[in-house]
Structure 1
Amino acid sequence: MIGLRRVGPDEFTKGLDAVLDIYTAAMRPPADQLTGRKAIMGNHAVHPGFTCLFAERADGKPVGVAYGFHGEPGQWWHDVVRRAMTELHGEDWARGWLGDAFELAEIHVHPDYQGKGVGRAMVTGLCEGRAERTAVLSTRDQATAARRLYRGVGFVDLLTQFVFPGGYERYAIVGAGLPLAGTGPDLP
């Protein structure tokens, strides 16, 4: 049985090795990126409104992690995505989606536990009760289980075929009104 447990920034930071293990199993990144990824994740814990859920087995071993925070100017992802959205659709549209957004930074489930509702429970659990107007995230722009999950809880494509500066993979930037599942406010 898998349970969800909310952890604060301090416990998250102390558990970064377990977080990185789940990330590595789920995403299979090149080994030379892991040190930088760990530093980025640790830095996310100081952003305003940071919240994290661990999905854990009955013995307490984490098998999934998801976290996010309130997005605001000065954060790398927020600034890069806002610029691209503004260029494509205009400032009002970008502000409508990112002006008061909960940014889901990482959502990962160990492959042995994928397809069992863990990811969905983490996404909906993270977004539940958030005060922000929208939720936004980036995901690989492919027909994956993650893309289906996000669509299933109300996320829509905002940008597709998006390549982050210095990157090579194509991503989709997706967003949803809060609360999830189509019950949020009308968006531009």
Structure 2
Amino acid sequence: MIQLRRVGPDQFTAALETVLAIYTVAMRPPSDQLAGRMAIMRNHATYPHFVCMLAESSEQENQIVGFAYGFHGVPGQWWHDVVRHALQDRAGPRTSEEWFGDALEIAEIHVHPDHQGKGVGRRMIHAICEGRPERTAVLSTHDAPTAARHLYRDIGFVDLMTEFVFPGGYENYVIAGTKLPLP
């Protein structure tokens, strides 16, 4: 059985090696990116109103098998600034403000492949969004017909921008958002 546990920044950073291992098997990034990814995750834990859910398997002595986290997006955060300005350029300042003026930015949602397809990701998204004061939740995902993208659409996320390439990157992403609270 998979149980969710809400943790704070200190507990999240204490579990970073395990979290990074899950990220690695779920996303298969180049190994030279892992140190930077760990630094980014550690830094995210310092952002305002950080929220994290760990998915733990009770059948494996509470082993972490998934995680999701986010925080309140504000100017000065790299992802927030890059995406908000790009949306403003594409759709105008009103749309950018509507989605990013008061947003929960969901930074990471990953489930170990052995536990995917069992509703764990869906439960974590609902749990981190529950009770949030922000008016929207936003995230980015690969611009491809993936299980993750299907999940986000099923939950109510809509595409705000497609074929978005982050500065210095080469892959296409979708920036998606939904109104809070989730249905």
Partners of 1:151 and 1:166 in 2: how far apart?
A: 27
Which residue, out of 64, 67, 71, partners 1:65?
Answer: 67
Where 2:67 maps in the other structure, the secondary structure is strand
- Structure 2 unaligned blocks of 5 or more: none
- Structure 1 unaligned blocks of 5 or more: 182-188
**Number of residue pairs aligned between Structure 1 and Structure 2:** 181
Partners of 2:160 and 2:146 in 1: how far apart?
A: 17
| TM-score of the pair, normalised by structure 1 | 0.95
Equivalent residue number for residue 161 of structure 1: 163
Equivalent residue number for residue 174 of structure 1: 176
Where 1:3 maps in the other structure, the secondary structure is strand
Partners of 1:16 and 1:52 in 2: how far apart?
A: 12
Q: How does 1:10-25 map to 2 (within 5 A)?
A: 10-25=10-25
Tell me the percent identity.
66
Where 2:47 maps in the other structure, the secondary structure is coil
Where 1:142 maps in the other structure, the secondary structure is coil
Residue 180 of structure 1: how far off its partner (Å): 1.1
Q: CA RMSD in A?
A: 0.5
Equivalent residue number for residue 133 of structure 2: 131
Equivalent residue number for residue 84 of structure 1: 86
| TM-score of the pair, normalised by structure 2 | 0.98
User: Match for 2:44: what amino acid?
Assistant: H
Residue 60 of structure 1: how far off its partner (Å): 1.1
Q: Does 1:151 align with 2:153?
A: yes
- Spell out structure 1 runs of 4+ moving beyond 6 A: none
Where 1:52 maps in the other structure, the secondary structure is strand
Partners of 2:39 and 2:174 in 1: how far apart?
A: 24
Partners of 1:162 and 1:92 in 2: how far apart?
A: 19
Residue 44 of structure 1: how far off its partner (Å): 0.1
